[in-house]
Structures are given as C-alpha cells and as structure tokens.
Amino acid sequence: MKQIVLGLIACFFAVSYGFAQSNTNAGITNLPRIAIAGLGIESSTFSPAVTQEEAFHARYGPEVFNAYPFMMPISPLRKQAIWLPTIVGKSLPGGAVTRQAYESLVNKTLDSLKKYGPYDGLYFDIHGAMSVVGLDDPEGDFLTRIRNVIGYKTLVSTSMDLHGNVSWRLAQNSDLITCYRMAPHEDAMQTKERAVVNLLERIKTGKGKPAYKAWIPVPILLPGEKTSTRIEPGKSLYHEVEPIADHKDGIVDAAIWIGYAWADEPRNHAVVMVTGDDKAKVTQAAEKLALDFWNVRNQFGFVAPTGTLEKCLADALASPKHPFFISDTGDNPTAGGAGDVTWTLTQLLARPEFQRADGPSLIYASIPAPELVKKAIAAGVGGHVEGTAGAAVDARFAPPVLLKGTVESIVYGDKDAEVEVVVKVGSLHIIVTQKRKPYHKEIDFTRLNLAPRKADIVVVKIGYLEPELYAMQVGWIMALTPGGVNQDLASLPYKRIKRPMFPFDKDMKTPNLSAQLVPLSGASK
C-alpha cells in the first residue's frame, strides 16, 4: 500500500514538476525519494559588506538539477531515485548574510520540503562558512530546522567546502558528511557526487545511517592561502584522505576541514570527521588524520612568495618574465572581501611607471563602479570617461578612486558583473564592473578584448591563483594588502574563537585529539 501511495505521489510529481522518471511503471516505483537543499556562501564578519537574498541566485525545483552535471536527465544517478529538489542557492563569498535574507531562503526551503515529503534521503549541499547577522552556526540552525520538517528517519548526506566549519550540531544532524579534498577545489563536483552516491548506496542497501561518526576539533585556524593542497604539507595531508575513505571496509567517508578564518565564532577551527560502521577503524582513522594535521602545523606557509604591494611591483617591473601576476589578497571577493577596496588601485594610479600610455602594461581586475559603468556606456568604446570607482561598501582603507581614461571595451551579460567595462588610464587597463565579480579564468579577460598572456603585469583581487591563471603566470607574488580578508590573521580582532588556537597562542600544549563519537541524528545528546 505504501508503495502505491508513494508511486502516486511520484506520478503527481512527474507531471506537476515535469520530472522525467523512469521505472514509474504504472505509477508504482521502488525508487527512493530524495530531496535536495542547501545554501552556499563563505562570509567574512571582518568586512562591512552584507549579503542579500538575490546574491544566492537561488535555483528552485527542477532548475536545481542544472547545478550538477551528474544529475543531467541521461545520467545514471538521475534514474536511481525520485529526486525532489527544493532550493539550492550559491553566492559569491561576501559579507554576513542579512537575517531577513537567511530567513526567507530557509523558510522557502522548509515550505517546499513540507509539500513533497516523506523522504528517504536528503542531499544537503552547503559551503559551511555562512555568517548570518545575529545568528551563530547558520548551517547547524538550517539543518536542525530541516530535521523538524523531515524527521530523523530520513538519511541526510552533507557535502561541504573544506573551508567550511563543522559544528557538533551540524555533525549530529548529518548522517553522512564530507568535504572537498583539493584546494583549489578542482574536485568540487566529484565531492558532491560522492555525497549523493554514498547516500543512495546507504538507502538502497538498507544499511541506513552509518553507526559511527567520529568528530575531532583541531585547534588550528589558517587561511586557505597557507593550506593549498598543491604544496606541502597540505598536499600529503590531504592525500591521506582518499585511501582511508574509499578503500576500507567499515568506513564510509573521511574528511578534513581547514575551516574559515574570517569569521569570529566558536566553530571556526579545523575539524576531522570519519564516518562508518566499524567503530575501531572509524575512530583510529580520525585520530590519525587529526594527529598528522597537528604535527605539520608549523610547516604551513603561503602558497606563493608574499610581500608588500611595493615589493611586489618592484619585483614584477624588474622581472624579465611576463605575465607577472600579483594577487591583491586583502580584498579577495572569493574569500569574503567586499571586492571594492580601492587601496591597491590608488597606489597603482600614483606610480610614475604607469602614467604614460606606452608604460608597462598592467591589467587590474577589478573594481565595481555602477555610475562609472553608466558613463562609459554613454561615452562608448573609444570615448573618454571620468568618474569615481569603488569604496561604496568598504572605504576603511582608501576613499573612492578617480579614474580618467579611455573606454576600451564594454561587455554585457556576465552573471555576476552584469556589465564590464575596461578603462585605460596611462598604461593600466582597469576592469570596472557594475557589480563585483571574481576573475579566475582566461576567458574572463579575453572576452573583454584583454590579452593577459601579453600583459607585463596582471593584478587580480584573489588569494591563491585559480588553475587557469596559475597555468598562465610566469611569476607570481601575493601582495599582503588591506581589506575584509586580510591575510595577516594575527591583526584581526577575534573575540569568540576558542582559545588556545594555533597559530595565535604560542607554546600551546598538544591538544586532546581523541575522537568524539557524535550521537546518531535523532538520538538524545
């Protein structure tokens, strides 16, 4: 009977939501019912920026499938369940999310979940470093509220960014939990797919919730720019994860979270988790990962040489190799910076080398200035434009900067920037955007008629270079510039993170790194 009822609901879904389901033979199906929900952002509480609902570009219902290549209609995974996507939103990193935006997105998710239950599983797709004004541990809060709707029989599989934070509450309400194993996150989709595959496998085999979830808080808080998995010690540490997770009976998954350094809550620190059915293997694996992490803590260093902007420019100008990349790290929009800090651009405009049009060519990406974009459109390509840019959100380090130059290109339609304009000032090619946008790919430049490979210097608001830029650079320094994601963590006014914490507290004793077993979801704490 239950099957028939479920089948009818599935049939209703197939019609009303336009889901293409196979095996719904005469409306009867044995396929598990799996919901999809989640919100992803990393938001700095050290930035004056705030994030509104539209920044999440929320996908509703069947649109959610488009976020996952492994969920396309022809993919084998798609056919193995009745998928019931609610809302998945993903924002560029930024400032703290307003309470109103958070409540709106959470309530829409809960309303959708209420309509289409019951569920055998839920895939919870989050980043894990969302800050919400006036609310601690938003992802833990979100999942607790989801549990109040779906109950505790539903298996929840959570996938995260390794820069997310895993509170005890999030760990308890998740049955399966994992995160990326690579930074830069080249394995993001693979991780999400693994979370879904493991969820399906536990449901279809009837194994259900893994019996053990080992959670170990590791009192380390480091920026992503020191913990890339491209270099040691992050490389070897993260190489330990896959053999543990994928090739051992009794273990379902293993993960190491670096955590997020630009928010100030007790949950901001590294965490190791291992899930599985074999208590000894689960706890031993978690303890080994945590101890190995702790033992290499002093070896983490910046992924590239660092220096003041002045030093970076001196090196770049003296270098025979081009393009020479400089990361403008303090205002990296993909770590949570406002993206409109003008400090670096102000310094560049004041430098004598770049005053003449035939000076060393430098591409600057980027500065938001909606008014200047309007003026550039009015002037047209080749026209003269003049106006202020940046510092509308974060003016703590420098005021809006005056740009006077020639419009080189105008491009419409980018999802984040909406309109992008290149303004040539002296020998600087400055990308001015309507809204802030990260520049991570070669095409982000070439579509604006810029040729980064031919430029002498490329300055990007970024931390470590994303793969395409990394492949292009023949010289690279990270400039330690001011902004909402200042890399000099010791200068940040932390008040609420747990202490002692490496590297802030010198001469720390070895912490207790024994595995703590998190109760199964729904069990009393």
Q: How far is the CB of 183 from Zn ion (least distance, A)?
A: 6
State whether the Cα torsion 189-195-200-201 is positive or negative: positive
User: Considering the rule CB under 5 A, would residue 163 count as an interface residue with Zn ion?
Assistant: yes
The residue at minimum Cβ distance from Zn ion is: 163
State whether the Cα torsion 351-49-328-226 is positive or negative: positive
Strand 475-479 and strand 306-307: the pairing is: parallel
Q: How far is the CB of 376 from Zn ion (least distance, A)?
A: 33
User: Considering the rule CB under 5 A, would residue 437 count as an interface residue with Zn ion?
Assistant: no
Whichever of 163 and 192 has its CB closer to Zn ion, that residue is 163
Q: How far is the CB of 409 from Zn ion (least distance, A)?
A: 31
Q: How far is the CB of 334 from Zn ion (least distance, A)?
A: 8
Both structure tokens of 407: 């419009």
Stretch binding Zn ion (CB under 5 A), from 160-168, 191-199, 336-344, 499-507: 160-168
Stretch binding Zn ion (CB under 5 A), from 54-62, 163-171, 376-384, 500-508: 163-171
DSSP for 235-271, please give it. Answer: HHHHHTHHHHHHS-TTEEEEEEE---TTS-STT-SEE
Q: Are 95 and 51 in contact (CB under 8 A)?
A: yes
Strand 212-218 and strand 457-460: the pairing is: unpaired
In this structure, which amino acid lies at residue 424? K
Whichever of 139 and 161 has its CB closer to Zn ion, that residue is 161
Q: How far is the CB of 93 from Zn ion (least distance, A)?
A: 9
User: Considering the rule CB under 5 A, would residue 466 count as an interface residue with Zn ion?
Assistant: no
Stretch binding Zn ion (CB under 5 A), from 153-161, 168-176, 396-404, 467-475: 153-161
Q: How far is the CB of 152 from Zn ion (least distance, A)?
A: 30
Stretch binding Zn ion (CB under 5 A), from 115-123, 154-162, 316-324, 418-426: 154-162
Beta bridge partners of 276: 212, 251
Q: How far is the CB of 234 from Zn ion (least distance, A)?
A: 12
Residue that the structure tokens 């901001």 belong to: 268
User: Considering the rule CB under 5 A, would residue 225 count as an interface residue with Zn ion?
Assistant: no
Whichever of 82 and 335 has its CB closer to Zn ion, that residue is 335
Q: How far is the CB of 35 from Zn ion (least distance, A)?
A: 25
Whichever of 184 and 276 has its CB closer to Zn ion, that residue is 184
User: Considering the rule CB under 5 A, would residue 161 count as an interface residue with Zn ion?
Assistant: yes
Residue that the structure tokens 């719904």 belong to: 24
Q: How far is the CB of 161 from Zn ion (least distance, A)?
A: 4
CA distance 102 to 88: 13
List the one residue out of 339, 413, 423 whose CA is nearest residue 376: 423
Q: Are 113 and 35 in contact (CB under 8 A)?
A: yes
Stretch binding Zn ion (CB under 5 A), from 13-21, 158-166, 257-265, 433-441: 158-166
Q: How far is the CB of 283 from Zn ion (least distance, A)?
A: 27
Whichever of 33 and 163 has its CB closer to Zn ion, that residue is 163
The interface with Zn ion within residues 361-380 (CB under 5 A) comprises none
Strand 475-479 and strand 428-433: the pairing is: unpaired
CA distance 345 to 390: 10
Whichever of 163 and 181 has its CB closer to Zn ion, that residue is 163
Whichever of 332 and 427 has its CB closer to Zn ion, that residue is 332
List the one residue out of 267, 190, 259 whose CA is nearest residue 227: 259
CA distance 24 to 14: 9
Whichever of 53 and 161 has its CB closer to Zn ion, that residue is 161
Count of positions on this chain that bind Zn ion (CB under 5 A):
2
Whichever of 161 and 444 has its CB closer to Zn ion, that residue is 161
Stretch binding Zn ion (CB under 5 A), from 133-141, 162-170, 310-318, 378-386: 162-170
CA distance 515 to 127: 24
Q: How far is the CB of 292 from Zn ion (least distance, A)?
A: 21
Both structure tokens of 484: 């909402």
Both structure tokens of 101: 């935006």
Q: Are 71 and 77 in contact (CB under 8 A)?
A: yes
Helices 99-116, 138-150: crossing angle, 10 deg rounding: 20
Both structure tokens of 49: 């920026």
Whichever of 269 and 281 has its CB closer to Zn ion, that residue is 269
Whichever of 58 and 179 has its CB closer to Zn ion, that residue is 179
Phi, psi values for residue 477, rounded to 5°? -135, 140
Q: How far is the CB of 229 from Zn ion (least distance, A)?
A: 11
Task: Provide the 3-class DSSP secondary structure of residue 356.
Answer: coil
Task: Provide the 3-class DSSP secondary structure of residue 309.
Answer: helix
Whichever of 235 and 384 has its CB closer to Zn ion, that residue is 235
Residues that bind Zn ion (CB under 5 A): 161, 163
